[in-house]
Amino acid sequence: MVYSERAATQQEELTKQRRQLYEGLSIKTGIEWQYLAAIDQYERTLSAAHPRTRPINKDALTGIFISEQDWIGVLNPDRNDSSPASIRFFHGIGKDGSGDGIANRNTDEDLLYSIAAEALKQGSAEEDFSIGLWEYYHNTRAVQRIRQFAQLYKFFDRLDLDAHAFPLPLGSVYSFRSTWGNSRSWGGYRIHEGTDIFAGYGVPVRSTCYGVIEVKGWNPFGGWRIGIRDLNNLYHYYAHMSGYEKKIKTGDVVRPGQIIGWVGSSGYGRPGTQGKFPPHLHYGIYRDRGLVEWAFDPYPMLRHWEREERKALRVHR
């Protein structure tokens, strides 16, 4: 318990420092702090997905990685150059964000300020800023993710958005086991990329995370399905539902435990196809690695979220 409380306190202090960093650079750049936070968070997800090619200092406040070559400039003969003027001469992107006159590649303020300056090259208007982000990342998905993350930070006005919930109410009747990798034959041979949670028709389906609804509608395989993107750049996929909560739509922000639809047996055919298998929720998770997405087994996370929610309910009672 003591360790848990200490970890929570440390995390709270870290979150406070990050917020101060974003707000300070917001004053310098004119960029809303939520967008600076979103850039940092996107960088953090890339660094987490590619730890070998994007090493981050252990005590770093941000998740930003800029290669030495990009920082100082390709033709710069001084590999340790930290002079903003010299780096600019050699077309490096490293800049002084902390105000100490040094462009330090190991300083959080300098790293985030340097990417922000790149994003501002096309202008500060939202569309111009998006173009600037594309020019830096050369990836349309990167621009989309940063805008989604900023939307979440704006909506909730805070950074600590990492709580989760089990996708079905714990008081409902359901069962599930690991079904990752099982074979599927409808529509061609493929493996099962997710976990099936069996429950009766009409049992509420809940968002497991804070996120943005990225996809909603019919899929021949998944039937009525919803895809939600969270701040860790994970895509949460809910399929075979009987319908949606009528007020939600693509682009909406959701929170853990919020009802998004109901368990059904839709899919394996044209829109409206039902009943080709017992009612259940297919739940999958996909990680965005920058240019590609890949699925991984959600079963351990589901078990963890189920345990944590039950524990919280016991404490509340």
Tens of pLDDT, residues 161-197:
999 999 999 999 999 998 886 666 555 555 568 899 9
pLDDT bin (cut points 50, 70, 90) of residue 292 is confident
Tens of pLDDT, residues 15-74: 999 999 999 999 999 999 999 999 999 999 999 989 999 999 888 999 999 999 999 999
Question: What's the chain look like in SS3?
Answer: CHHHHHHHHHHHHHHHHHHHHHHHHHHHHCCCHHHHHHHHHHHHHHHHHCCCCCCCCCCCCCCCCCCHHHHHCCCCCCCCCCCHHHHHHCCCCCCCCCCCCCCCCCCHHHHHHHHHHHHHHHCCCHHHHHHHHHHHHCCHHHHHHHHHHHHHHHHHCCCCCCCCCCCCCCCCCEEECCCCCCEECCCCCEECCCEEEEECCCCEEECCCCEEEEEEEEECCCEEEEEEEECCCEEEEEEEEEEECCCCCCCCEECCCCEEEEEECECCCCCCCECCCCCEEEEEEEEECCCCEEEECCHHHHHHHHHHHHHHHHHHC
pLDDT tens digits along 88-126: 999 999 999 999 999 999 999 999 999 999 999 999 999
Instruction: In whole angstroms, give the CA distance from residue 123 to residue 125.
Output: 6
Q: What is the pLDDT of residue 191?
A: 59
Residue 1's pLDDT is what? 54
At 3 the pLDDT is 55
> pLDDT tens digits for 221-259?
899 999 999 999 999 999 999 999 999 999 999 999 999
Q: What pLDDT sits at residue 288? A: 85
User: pTM for the full model?
Assistant: 0.92
pLDDT of amino acid 151: 98
In degrees, to the nearest 5, what angle opens at C-alpha 188 toward C-alphas 186 and 194? 65
Tell me what pLDDT residue 4 has: 67
> What pLDDT does 250 receive?
97
* Cβ neighbours, 10 Å, residue 50: 13
What confidence tier does 295 reach under pLDDT thresholds 50, 70, 90? confident
